[in-house]
């Protein structure tokens, strides 16, 4: 059962663009090196809808175990602690079978 992991973020007002770009580039590098990641889309909101949040990840894994290996990877946890937590006001995620 392929799993799609979707997560959206709202950052604190005034978050500098370079902090967001650092997060994006570290997630790209981390996900590209992690075997259980099948696909990984990540980036800033395009500004099409005024109500949209600021940033999203949509990734796929071969199974729940692959998603959990990603979620719990120490490098991922470091990125969350050092790059996500300081700038994040709200976060919402869903994991669905596809």
Q: Which residues lie near a second copy (CB under 8 A)?
A: 3-4, 6, 8, 10, 41-46, 48-49, 51-56, 58, 64, 67-68, 71, 90, 92-98
Tokens of 96: 């669905």
Work out how close the CB of 18 gets to a second copy at its nearest, in angstroms, rounded to a whole number: 18
Work out how close the CB of 13 gets to a second copy at its nearest, in angstroms, rounded to a whole number: 16
By C-beta, is 45 or 75 nearer to a second copy?
45
Q: Are 12 and 86 in contact (CB under 8 A)?
A: no
By C-beta, is 18 or 97 nearer to a second copy?
97
Work out how close the CB of 52 gets to a second copy at its nearest, in angstroms, rounded to a whole number: 5
CA distances from 70 to 2, 20, 36, 39, 42 (A): 14, 20, 7, 12, 15
CA distances from 58 to 45, 55, 67, 73, 93 (A): 13, 10, 12, 17, 10
């Amino acid at each position: 059962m392929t799993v799609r992991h979707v997560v959206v973020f709202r950052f604190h007002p005034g978050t500098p663009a370079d902090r967001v770009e650092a997060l994006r580039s570290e997630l790209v590098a981390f996900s590209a090196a992690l075997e259980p990641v099948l696909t990984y889309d990540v980036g800033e909101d395009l500004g099409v809808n005024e109500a949209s949040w600021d940033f999203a990840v949509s990734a796929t894994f071969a199974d729940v175990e692959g998603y959990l290996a990603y979620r719990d990877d120490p490098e991922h946890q470091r990125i969350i602690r050092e790059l996500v937590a300081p700038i994040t006001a709200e976060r919402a995620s869903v994991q669905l079978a596809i």
